[in-house]
Structure 1
Amino acid sequence: MSERSAAPGGLALIESLVNTLDIESGVDGLDTPEGRARLGITRDGLADARELRESLRAALLAHAGHPPHRPVTPLGTLLARAPLYVAVDDHDGSARLAPADAAPLPSRVAAAVAEALVAGTWTRLKACEAETCHWAYYDRSPAGRGRWCSMRVCGARAKMRRYRAKGA
């Protein structure tokens, strides 16, 4: 989908999770052992990972000003179950939120969201507005108004549809 570079920091985890599903082709990277292993997901945690993925996609669509493409469990509800603690560096006194247990996916995602909130980057992670895509991407545009994961694919398709509609 996207020709863009990966999202910064912990947002790369969220982007990677959301992008395990190619909506256009229906291919789900979580169906393979390799896809699950990349994100540290076991077969037993597959349903929860998919639920988290779609809740994240809904949040990223909201960042782009679009409603979710289907009803989902609110992201806040899922992340409320993710135990975090404040980790303080003994050398420089810096602090961050970190997963409280063996770093299951929801806790890693919650820590990544917290990190991005502090950095001011959370709302820059968006989902492509194209109905057949909804691919996660990090919006690096100066004004933060990116709409598509790829101008060459989704953006070009949308512009072509608008052009054709005007001529009809």
Structure 2
Amino acid sequence: MSERSAAPGGLELVQSLVNTLDVETGVDSLDTAEGRARFGVAEEDLPGARELRESLRVALLAHAGHPAHRAVAPLDELLTAAPLLVRVDAGGSALLGAADDAPLVSRVAVGIAQALVEGTWMRLKACEAVDCHWAYYDRSPAGRGRWCSMQVCGARAKMRRYRAK
């Protein structure tokens, strides 16, 4: 949808990973070689990538105040397997990073860590609509967005409430 914009910084990877599954249609871009290559995921690592994706989705639903859509492995347990590196440049600046050949979970952990430092982690959310759950970055001034798209998911929810009256 047109107003969906990419999350800033390292959160773009997290958002993109969560959005590899279209909940409404069931289409999973990780089913294709191109989709897996986009995230550097080998076919044998696909179950782990999907587990990570759904654990992230549950965390993003929680950011928006919604209950988990299903039981998943706790995200903090998955992230314990994420080797991270601290790199210090010649000027003394330190950066958190993943090794060049880091697994997806490490790259996700770096994105989350950067977002924590920048204060943006809690603004990455999953849409309230049960047939959507699309990851979106909440750019609303108060940070209280509920839907990935007010024109689509928000309008549908409002119409359902109206018809129920």
TM-score computed with the length of structure 2 as normaliser: 0.96
Q: Distance in 2 between matches of 1:28 and 1:163?
A: 33
Partner in structure 1 of residue 101 of structure 2: 102
Distance 1:87 1:27 in 2: 38
**Distance apart, 1:165 and its partner CA:** 1.2
Following superposition, the deviation at residue 107 of structure 1 comes to 0.3
Structure 1 segments of 4 or more deviating over 3 A? none
Over the residues paired in the alignment, what is the CA RMSD in angstroms? 1.1
1:72-127: per-residue Cα shift (whole Å, max 9, x none)?
00000000110112112222x22222114622100000000000000000000000
C-alpha change, 1:38 and 1:101, in structure 2 (3 Å) is closer
**Contact 1:99/1:108 (CA < 8 Å) preserved in 2?**
yes
CA distance in structure 2 between the aligned counterparts of 1:3 and 1:42, rounded to whole angstroms: 32
1:21-80 deviation line (CA, Å, top 9, x unaligned): 000000000000111111111101100000000000000000000111000000000001
The one-character-per-residue Cα deviations of 1:148-167 (angstroms, maximum 9, x if unpaired) are: 0011110010000111112x
Q: Percent identity?
A: 75
Q: Which amino acid aligns with 2:111?
A: A
User: How many matched pairs?
Assistant: 165
Check conservation: 1:24, 1:133, Cα contact below 8 A: yes
Q: Which amino acid aligns with 2:19?
A: N
In structure 1, the partner of 2:149 is: 150
* 1:79 match: 79
Q: Please list every run of 5 or more consecutive structure 1 residues that lacks an aligned counterpart in the other structure.
A: none
